[in-house]
Structure 1
């Protein structure tokens, strides 16, 4: 779009547009995706819950322990037997060990990216695409771009029919990370903002309550007043008519209608209301913002939402101070104390509860679960930023990590691939984030990844990678 095209519109036009967010969200290129039929003869997952461990979880202290490695690599944690013969987990995941017969551990996920920073790691593992050179140049200053490759949740959302009342993709309990350092890879991007997930926020101080800030009614706005305001939207038609030649206006209208549908729907309120769950259910998940987000995710898939993402909340000052991190899994210092005393117990309780709950409700076979992170941690103990070996931290490590899958047709109780003896690099059956992303699509019956830009030109959403068929 050239500068001349802007001069045809009055200040009033742009004030009207910006009042519903057009100015900030819809001048990027928007695309529509072709529908995808499920593969005939194969039962596909109806929903996916992605649990993303923000910060970079230590693969060799959780999933891929190396008890025979030198002490400066292996650390103090020991592997324990599980409900699945031959599958071992960290001793600090005892509840999850009882659910290991549902798990598939992919211990050979590698990467070709040497930025070793969070932004590139998010992008690679959330989209399946290798980060472009801008990530190498800008590092953690690299903001999300409209022409980025789309988040896997947005791709799934684009392949499912849109129903009134609930969106096709939801992310909670926050949007990583705080602006201006918003992580790339979690948006619709090339597919257009209409396929962005609905971001729902939660807080540690009141973990059973969730709010979607972009959709919440202003304080004092009753349902009746909301209905009246909705009626006033028709009065914008005249001002909007002059803007209709912008393709992006259609996105504005879609987003506006989605917001109205969500705000008006009792199903939306019910799906996010975990406070009416039984006290023992809340206790089983753990009454933390992460535990309640997993419980909300279960409620959302029960309500028919195809893709739910739980980003591990990093809003924990105590953990941030203790681990020399941002509050999540970025354990630059005191790696073992942070994992043993803070991170692993909360994760173990919440994720094991989710698996058990879905299985008890007969939903696990139709719900794919995935655990990943933006990176692993350095196998050799000692981050220079926290005092080296004395600081007992592990630095960023994008060269190897473990992904975990369960449900959704995945055969549980297995380990796929392996890392080398120090957990530094993939060894047998190496895979990439593209392979894992394609596996998610395959589980959900999404085989056709062709999409079209606003000129009707086709492009492929993810050419790299192959689904890991042996996992099913």
Structure 2
């Protein structure tokens, strides 16, 4: 079998992201890490079912044209869209988000997010740290890798952390899968999502299982020569269980969902916005990730990082033609997919345990540029949260008249992470990770949770 064929052995996946037997291990865990994870995962029972979904609006969504509209600002700031009422009295959001508006009383909106940097790589959304922090040691780990290291799996058939990234410029999204200085043993499991599919078939699992067992047998002999065969037996059993898990394969196969469910997410459904030409974006590719996130969490995943973007070069990075891009390509499918995801979690009784955070790497410039676009803007942005037992139906913070700076209650990026970590049962004040120089590193420096959300 050629290396090229082997790397795509599983339909919809790059096999190298799953199987790294020789130097690393299976599914991002070395032998020692895999066995230690079982001991680490003795979580308090109240936290074992808790999980997070970290949704990155890649490119930086315009806060002024989504959740923090400024109808009283001059025309060169307020833009083309009208605002609509939501289920929170007095709170209005963009007219192209009607489904989210209907559910906002069960969500929380932050309008004073600040402290970003002008960088598209998503480092701060994935790790809480600016890009390049501790680069000489491999960089900071993303939140899913931190959970894998500190708490380990709750279900041996399912990876602790999954990163569902798009096929557009994967290097910008590396932070969402990278374990940084923790090493590749704790990288997030990363399906190949370039065509919107992540399905495994029984035939290919069987075929790959034979290849896996051959490699494990070779490694078993090597370990036996060093007196480690007993540990290898335990590892082999767990590794094969994971890689050939029907439970995990089924979770990744969204075609097992009834057609009506997939249609609610807009998967494979064309849509038009006010008679506009058919949208260019691949709606199925984007919203399938929401549905797959729900299925993975139901199986025991604790952190799912999701990239949601148009898929073409523009994404949410609307330097030109901002309003047509949002009106016809971005906001309608996003409104459909996120609302369906919310409804799914709510109807299945999962909202108390699953905390969902939706945000971009920065906002967009308040003043519209000469190309009818908005440029990068780090001083202010918005974020949307729901689930996780949060106090919802509220808006936290505000920005000035033209949306250029927080007017009150500025929220730092790391405060969002403090809220996420505490939801998972990790105390950001006490928890540390040991870097490659054997020095303890705190997870974040701003350790205050957002008190309005958690009380």
Out of 232, 235, 257, which is 2:218 matched to? 235
Inter-partner Cα distance in structure 2 for 1:112 and 1:355: 27
Inter-partner Cα distance in structure 2 for 1:228 and 1:124: 39
Q: 1:243 to 1:376 in 2, by over 3 A?
A: farther
Greater alpha carbon shift after TM alignment, 293-302 vs 453-462: 453-462
Q: TM-score, normalised by structure 1?
A: 0.76
Out of 235, 245, 261, which is 1:281 matched to? 261
* TM-superposition CA deviations, 1:218-249 (whole Å, max 9, x none): xx9671673365144232356578999xxxxx
Once the 2 structures are TM-superposed, how far is the Cα of residue 459 of structure 1 from its aligned partner? Answer: 2.8
In the alignment, is residue 358 of structure 1 matched against residue 345 of structure 2? yes
State the secondary structure of the residue aligned to 2:145: helix
Q: Once superposed, what is the RMSD of the aligned Cα atoms?
A: 3.6
2:129 is aligned to 129
1:117 is aligned to 119
Out of 282, 293, 296, which is 1:297 matched to? 293
* TM-superposition CA deviations, 1:129-165 (whole Å, max 9, x none): 234589xxxxxxxxx7653111112222323332321
Out of 408, 412, 437, which is 1:428 matched to? 408
State the secondary structure of the residue aligned to 1:295: helix
Inter-partner Cα distance in structure 2 for 1:332 and 1:255: 50
State the secondary structure of the residue aligned to 1:350: helix
Once the 2 structures are TM-superposed, how far is the Cα of residue 310 of structure 1 from its aligned partner? Answer: 1.5
Once the 2 structures are TM-superposed, how far is the Cα of residue 254 of structure 1 from its aligned partner? Answer: 11
CA contact (8 A) 1:176 1:183 kept: no
Residue correspondence of structure 1 range 148-167 to structure 2 within 5 A: 148-162=139-153, 163-167=155-159
Greater alpha carbon shift after TM alignment, 349-358 vs 181-190: 181-190
What are structure 2's unaligned runs of at least 5 residues? 1-18, 268-283
Q: 1:169 to 1:222 in 2, by over 3 A?
A: closer
Inter-partner Cα distance in structure 2 for 1:420 and 1:308: 34
State the secondary structure of the residue aligned to 1:101: helix
In the alignment, is residue 53 of structure 1 matched against residue 36 of structure 2? no
Q: 1:470 to 1:242 in 2, by over 3 A?
A: farther
Once the 2 structures are TM-superposed, how far is the Cα of residue 377 of structure 1 from its aligned partner? Answer: 0.9
Inter-partner Cα distance in structure 2 for 1:435 and 1:441: 10
In the alignment, is residue 342 of structure 1 matched against residue 343 of structure 2? no
Once the 2 structures are TM-superposed, how far is the Cα of residue 21 of structure 1 from its aligned partner? Answer: 5.6
2:94 is aligned to 90
In the alignment, is residue 201 of structure 1 matched against residue 188 of structure 2? no
* TM-superposition CA deviations, 1:17-67 (whole Å, max 9, x none): 9974659x999xx9x999598789x87861111211111111111111111
Q: 1:111 to 1:467 in 2, by over 3 A?
A: same
1:13 is aligned to none
Once the 2 structures are TM-superposed, how far is the Cα of residue 259 of structure 1 from its aligned partner? Answer: 6.2
CA contact (8 A) 1:73 1:422 kept: yes
Q: 1:311 to 1:84 in 2, by over 3 A?
A: same
Greater alpha carbon shift after TM alignment, 154-163 vs 261-270: 154-163
Inter-partner Cα distance in structure 2 for 1:299 and 1:258: 22
Once the 2 structures are TM-superposed, how far is the Cα of residue 167 of structure 1 from its aligned partner? Answer: 0.1
2:366 is aligned to 379
Inter-partner Cα distance in structure 2 for 1:358 and 1:18: 34
In the alignment, is residue 272 of structure 1 matched against residue 260 of structure 2? no
2:107 is aligned to 103
Q: 1:21 to 1:302 in 2, by over 3 A?
A: same
Q: TM-score, normalised by structure 2?
A: 0.79
CA contact (8 A) 1:289 1:313 kept: no
2:4 is aligned to none
State the secondary structure of the residue aligned to 1:66: coil
Inter-partner Cα distance in structure 2 for 1:418 and 1:44: 35
Inter-partner Cα distance in structure 2 for 1:453 and 1:170: 22
In the alignment, is residue 450 of structure 1 matched against residue 432 of structure 2? yes
Aligned length: 408
Out of 192, 198, 209, which is 1:210 matched to? 198
* TM-superposition CA deviations, 1:243-287 (whole Å, max 9, x none): 99xxxxxxx999998764432100111111111212121111111
